[in-house]
């Protein structure tokens, strides 16, 4: 598994979100949009060579759902698919207050 892939796709988003949530809570407003992938919505690991990428996007989707469940106020969080695969226009994977 690639540590760089997890560091970029999951931990990068985690640290940015963690940094901004206190400011958003203080101002009573905020929007967080995580960029996921169709691979992040797939539980099967049938595509060879993309295991670390899929795991990082699954983790990002889980983080988005966790924050959505715990966040208060007028802060919205979404994870969206880039739409590069079989989905023509992309789609929202998970949302909070949208």
**Which residues have a catalytic role annotated?**
53
Q: How far apart are CA 3 and CA 31, in angstroms?
A: 28
Count CB atoms within 10 A of the CB of residue 33. Answer: 12
Q: Are 78 and 96 in contact (CB under 8 A)?
A: yes
Q: How far apart are CA 68 and CA 66, in angstroms?
A: 5
């Amino acid at each position: 598994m690639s540590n760089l892939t997890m560091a970029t796709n999951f931990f990068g988003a985690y640290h940015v979100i963690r940094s901004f949530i206190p400011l958003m809570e203080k101002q009573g407003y905020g929007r967080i949009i995580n960029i996921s992938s169709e691979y992040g919505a797939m539980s099967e690991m049938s595509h060879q060579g993309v295991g670390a990428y899929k795991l990082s996007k699954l983790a990002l989707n889980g983080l988005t759902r966790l924050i959505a469940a715990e966040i208060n106020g007028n802060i919205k969080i979404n994870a969206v698919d880039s739409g590069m695969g079989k989905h023509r226009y992309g789609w929202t994977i998970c949302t909070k207050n949208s």
